[in-house]
């Protein structure tokens, strides 16, 4: 019988259980987008996860969304990540890097550049900057001839991730960032080959995945998607049709997994399970939603055909989440005030479960 604690084969990796630590932005990187010793300790504490997916890592300067986030576009950044991956591996874990290009969800005060996107349509809401939240600026629409440069950035960052010791990479195709913007029916108003029809709107995602596969191999490549999610004002009016078409193209590339967020009705997500022939990771909780996922939600989605289950806030506040779920111990709540404040408080200070005599 398959349970959350059954082993699973993911490409060349033997996972000891079916839990995945979901990517979560923590803005603890040093100047220059460098990973730190605290980041190494943070991920190493959570190495009992079947798989860790890192926080979003920008593949280029213009791809940075938030201040304080790490990168994978310089040799120095690669060297800084080697301490993180080494710590995770020393503790028996496995870790993928999530490659995240923010696209229009950025600000010149953060990157020194005007953000880019598929079209000159601003994100809805305020974006983080070094001086605090500011209204999202209108991005510059990428020229057709420029798009391959941003496609290639994913593959180049993936190569650097493997050089840094990561076991693979996950492309961030969810939550309103660049890939999601191209998939969108309102952020993407292009009339060239990257817009308009479903085939046009999925093209950027497929090309970014293909560039990554060319760089590091299909077995080391995954993608995260949020079907129908409305993050940063992104809309997908035809989420089921769009994502089914996308999965058909990705299946031809033979990638390691697709990681779905529960941002659509269960019927839509189950349909995507049927459409996807490979490994499926499901995050049963909407990011920043009212209730973090727990054992019941995990078991439910395993029963619906998911292969792996990702947890975000559960792993943030419980470095020993696997053991707590296995033994039925209480799962500690998160302190939201420390999500993005920097420092080790609310980062390295969550303890493992202590049995009260």
- In the block, tokens 């993911």 appear at 10
- Distances in Å between the Cα of 153 and the Cα atoms of 25, 113, 257, 336, 345 are 20, 16, 20, 32, 33
Residue 355 has pLDDT above 80, yes or no: no
In a domain, 348, yes or no: no
Task: Give residue 293's pLDDT band: very low, low, confident or very high (50, 70, 90).
Answer: confident
CB atoms within 10 A of CB 200: 16
Task: With CA atoms as reference, report the closest residue to 259 among 296, 232, 291, 221.
Answer: 221
Q: What is the mean pLDDT of residues 236-242?
A: 93
Task: With CA atoms as reference, report the closest residue to 223 among 242, 251, 195, 265.
Answer: 251
> Do the beta carbons of residue 52 and residue 88 sit within 8 Å?
yes
In a domain, 147, yes or no: yes
In a domain, 335, yes or no: no
Q: CA torsion sign, 157 to 160 to 161 to 162?
A: positive
Residues 6 or more apart from 235 whose CB is under 8 A from it?
184, 185, 186, 187
Residues 6 or more apart from 256 whose CB is under 8 A from it?
10, 11, 168, 218, 219, 220, 221, 222, 278, 279
In a domain, 12, yes or no: no
| Domain hosting residue 103, numbered range | 29-308
- Distances in Å between the Cα of 233 and the Cα atoms of 121, 150, 175, 338, 345 are 10, 22, 10, 26, 32
Task: Tell me the whole-structure pTM to 2 decimals.
Answer: 0.96
In a domain, 22, yes or no: no
Residue 42 known to be catalytic:
no
Residue 290 has pLDDT above 80, yes or no: no
3-state secondary structure of 334: coil
Task: Determine whether 64 is exposed, middle or buried from the number of CB atoms within 10 Å of its CB (0-12, 13-18, 19+).
Answer: buried
C-alpha 114, offset from chain centre: 23
Q: How many domains does the chain have?
A: 1
Catalytic residue among 177, 257, 347, 350: 177
Lowest model confidence (mean pLDDT) among 58-67, 244-253, 339-348: 339-348
Average pLDDT taken over every residue of the chain: 96
Task: Give residue 1's pLDDT band: very low, low, confident or very high (50, 70, 90).
Answer: confident
Q: What per-residue confidence (pLDDT) applies to 294?
A: 87
- In the block, tokens 């596969």 appear at 213
> Do the beta carbons of residue 16 and residue 57 sit within 8 Å?
no
In a domain, 21, yes or no: no
Q: What per-residue confidence (pLDDT) applies to 288?
A: 63
CATH number, domain with residue 280: 3.20.20.70
In a domain, 10, yes or no: no
In a domain, 316, yes or no: no
Residue 289 has pLDDT above 70, yes or no: no
């Amino acid at each position: 019988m398959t349970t959350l604690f059954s082993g699973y084969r993911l490409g060349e990796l033997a996972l000891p259980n079916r839990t995945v630590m979901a990517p979560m932005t923590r803005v603890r990187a040093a100047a220059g987008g460098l990973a730190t010793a605290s980041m190494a300790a943070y991920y190493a504490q959570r190495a009992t996860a079947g798989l860790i997916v890192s926080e979003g890592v920008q593949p280029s300067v213009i791809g940075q969304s938030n201040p304080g986030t790490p990168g994978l576009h310089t040799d120095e950044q690669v060297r800084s990540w080697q301490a993180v991956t080494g710590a995770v591996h020393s503790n028996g874990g496995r870790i993928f890097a999530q490659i995240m290009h923010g696209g229009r969800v950025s600000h010149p005060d953060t990157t020194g550049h005007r953000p880019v996107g598929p079209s000159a349509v601003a994100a809805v809401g305020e974006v983080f900057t070094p001086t605090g939240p500011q209204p999202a600026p209108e991005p510059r629409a990428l020229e057709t001839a420029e798009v391959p440069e941003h496609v290639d950035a994913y593959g180049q960052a993936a190569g650097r991730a493997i050089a840094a010791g990561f076991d693979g990479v996950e492309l961030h195709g969810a939550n309103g960032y660049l890939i999601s913007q191209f998939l969108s029916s309102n952020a993407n108003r292009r009339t060239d080959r990257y817009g308009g029809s479903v085939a046009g709107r999925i093209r950027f995602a497929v090309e970014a995945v293909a560039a990554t596969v060319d760089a590091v191999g299909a077995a080391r490549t995954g993608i995260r998607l949020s079907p129908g999610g409305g993050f940063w004002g992104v809309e997908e009016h035809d989420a089921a049709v769009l994502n089914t078409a996308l999965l058909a193209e990705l299946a031809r590339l033979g990638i390691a997994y697709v990681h779905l967020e529960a941002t659509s009705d269960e019927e839509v997500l189950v349909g995507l399970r049927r459409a996807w022939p490979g490994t499926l990771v499901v995050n049963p909780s909407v990011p920043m939603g009212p209730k973090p996922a727990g054992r019941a939600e995990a078991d439910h989605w395993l029963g619906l055909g998911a292969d792996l289950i990702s947890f975000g806030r559960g792993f943030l506040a419980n470095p020993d989440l696997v053991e707590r779920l296995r033994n039925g111990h209480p799962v500690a709540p998160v302190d939201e005030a420390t999500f993005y404040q920097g420092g080790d408080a609310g980062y390295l200070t969550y303890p493992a479960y202590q049995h009260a005599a």
